Amino acid sequence: MLKLIQSGAPLSFRQRLALTAKLSWPAIMAQLSSIMMQYIDAAMVGRLGADDSASVGLVSTSLWLFWGLCSAATVGFSVQVAHRIGAADYASARGVLRQGITASLIFGAVMALIGVSIAAPLPGWLGGTEAVSGKATVYFLVFVSALPLLSLNYLGSAMLRASGNMKTAGALNVLMCLLDVVFNFFLIFPPHQIVLGGMEVSLPGAGLGVLGAALGTVCAEAVTAGLVMWQVCWRQNDLAVFGRVARRRIDGTAGNSETGGLKSFIPTGMVLRNAVKVSAPMTLEHGVICGAQIMVTIIVAPLGVMAIAANAFAVTAEALCYMPGYGIGDAATTLVGQSYGARRHDLARQFGYLTVGLGMVVMTLMGVVLWLFAPVVMEILSPVGEIRALGASALRIEAWAEPMFAASIVAYGVMVGVGDTIVPAAMNFSSIWLVRLPLAAVLAPRMGLDGVWLAMCIELCFRGAIFLWRLLKGTWLKHGLRTTGATG
């Protein structure tokens, strides 16, 4: 059905809805598997005690900062690929992929060096106590050291989504989740016995605790990165640059061909400028937003170890609600991006409205589920009664914001699809810094952790409103990329 976008054929509402659903479903599954991996980590570490949970929670927002920066850096390349595929210019799409591999590896390596250099003092900067700082440093250090591999994982998944291959990207994310369970199980806990069918079975274990949780997840991500890049570079028909698929094009028997060898991996001026135009605002935005989230951690820290752990668990639990929104947002980026690349602006607008509406419906339902089952979710994540009570209360406050949170998430994906990121990025971080943080600082001393989450709820509703206003106004279509010309 994506070929209908390229061909210029009209798409009925039913066809647009069917196409949106087909791309959204695997993207939602991929996002859910990602958050399930966080649930697994949190639940396994939660069994080790409050200090270990707090050590992970203390640096979690800082890790999101580094992960998000690496992810944002790849978007500038995947959006260009979506535009070129929409225009049926596959040779240029492959050129962008080559250059994106080089750029992503370099950016990931730079971010890893920065992360390693601040790993030791970071927990102290965040207000961590001596009981949690050492383990927090180890957890953070393992993750940031693997950022080059993680950058390739982000790039490969983004390229698959840009080409419309949501199923493979989703399946690989599910595999990563399963691998995370296996690796964590054997790395976190010491050797122990379980009873199966009346027989006692001895299971091996490294007993590494927090370090094992970090190593297990990094191992799962490394395996997935290798598989996703193999799929993109060797097997994906529109994008493969190595192997038999690529050789068939060079021989002229399939697809449009291009040559140039390794020199094509060196970023060219036009591709790099377009990548920076898309990614730089997103990177800055993510840095500023994560800086705000770190400030929230600092606001929560004086409330005690229980509040730190409850806040971290609640953030993980709440992601179950908004991950479907990000999945639909990924589909929106692909659909709008390919429509824009095919110069079908009316179709891009129609997909924008449809995906935002669908996201709001889905996340409203997820909010209802979150409100009803918040105590059950927290019980899964932590055995400590006080942590469960604090987290459940926070989640029930946040559930009210899910419809408008969906509007901001999916509308942002729509605007990224055309390459419009500067204004949306400013809207995101301005909302957090000018609304959420001041309210949290005022409410936390009076209401405790509930005050922090009430501030978040109010801010997300405000953010959703301004994104809906910009979506309906339509100015985002006038600020897209110009992607004509060859890529080298």
Alpha carbon distance 346, 472 (integer Å):
13
pLDDT band at residue 115, thresholds of 50, 70 and 90?
A: very high
Note the pTM of the prediction, 2 decimals.
0.76
pLDDT tens digits, one per residue of 403-439 = 999 999 999 999 998 988 889 989 988 998 999 999 9
Coil, strand or helix at 194: strand
- Residue 325: closest CA among 463, 427, 178: 463
CA 338/CA 344 separation, integer angstroms: 9
Quick one: average pLDDT of 66-77?
88
The answer to whether the CB of 128 falls within 8 A of the CB of 58 is yes
Q: How far apart are CA 255 and CA 245, in angstroms?
A: 9
Residue by residue, DSSP assigns 339-359 as HHHTT-HHHHHHHHHHHHHHH
- 203 compared with 35, residue with greater pLDDT: 203
* Region at 400 (left for phi over 0; alpha for psi -120 to 50; beta for the rest): alpha
The CA distance from 443 to 327, in Å, is 32
**According to the per-residue pLDDT averaged within each range, which of 9-13, 49-53, 257-261, 343-347 is highest?**
343-347
197 torsion bin: left (phi>0), alpha (psi -120 to 50), beta (else): left
- End-to-end CA separation in angstroms for the chain: 29
Show the tokens assigned to 440: 């949290």
8 A C-beta contact, residue 160 and residue 234: no
What pLDDT was estimated at residue 31?
A: 67
* pLDDT greater at residue 32 or residue 337: 337
Question: Which two three-digit tokens encode residue 194?
Answer: 């379980």
What percentage of the chain has pLDDT greater than the value 90? 32
**Tokens of residue 416, six digits:** 């990224």
Which burial class, exposed, middle or buried, applies to 97 when counting CB atoms under 10 A from its CB (0-12, 13-18, 19+)?
buried
pLDDT at 4 exceeding the cut of 90: no
Tell me: the pLDDT tens digits for 235-272? 998 888 887 666 665 555 444 555 444 347 888 888 88
**Given this model, what pLDDT does residue 247 score?**
63
Counts for the chain of helices (H) and strands (E), in that order:
18, 2
- Print burial letters for 51-65: b (CB count within 10 Å at least 16), e (below 16): ebbbbbbbbbbbbbb
Asked whether the predicted pLDDT for residue 53 surpasses 50, the reply is yes
**Which pLDDT does position 39 carry in this prediction?**
63
Q: How far apart are CA 302 and CA 131, in angstroms?
A: 15
- Share the mean pLDDT of the chain: 84
pLDDT digits (tens, 9 = 90+) for 130-174: 878 888 999 999 999 999 999 999 999 989 988 888 888 888 888
Position 128 confidence tier, pLDDT thresholds 50, 70, 90: confident
| Distance of alpha carbon 112 from alpha carbon 119, whole angstroms | 10
* pLDDT over 60 (residue 27): yes
Which of 180-189, 303-312, 400-409 reaches the highest mean pLDDT?
Answer: 400-409
Token pair 């010491």 in the structure block, residue:
190
Residue 487 has pLDDT above 50, yes or no: no
Per-residue pLDDT of 298-307, as tens digits, reads 888 788 878 8
Predicted pLDDT of residue 223: 95
58 neighbors 359 (Cβ within 8 angstroms) = no
Q: Is the pLDDT of residue 488 over 70?
A: no
Average the pLDDT over each of 24-28, 29-33, 229-233 and give the range with the smallest value.
29-33
Distance (Å, whole) CA 471 – CA 49 = 46
Query: Minimum mean pLDDT among 167-171, 368-372, 388-392: which range?
Result: 167-171
C-alpha 184/C-alpha 210 separation (Å) is 10
Residue 7: CB atoms within 10 A of its CB come to 9
- Nearest-angstrom CA–CA distance, 437 and 200: 53
Provide CB contacts within 8 A for 394, sequence distance 6+.
Answer: 310, 311, 314, 449, 450, 452, 453
Rounded-to-10 torsion of CA 398, 22, 68, 399: 0
pLDDT at 458: 95
- Cα 421 to the chain's mean position, in Å? 16
DSSP structure class, residue 1: -
Give the highest mean pLDDT range of 47-56, 288-297, 465-474: 465-474
DSSP 3-state of 203: strand
Sequence-ordered list of residues with C-beta below 8 angstroms from that of 87, at least 6 positions apart, any chain: 6, 341, 342, 343, 483
What is the tens place of the pLDDT at every residue in 436-466? 999 999 998 889 889 999 999 999 999 999 9
More confidently predicted of 228 and 42: 228
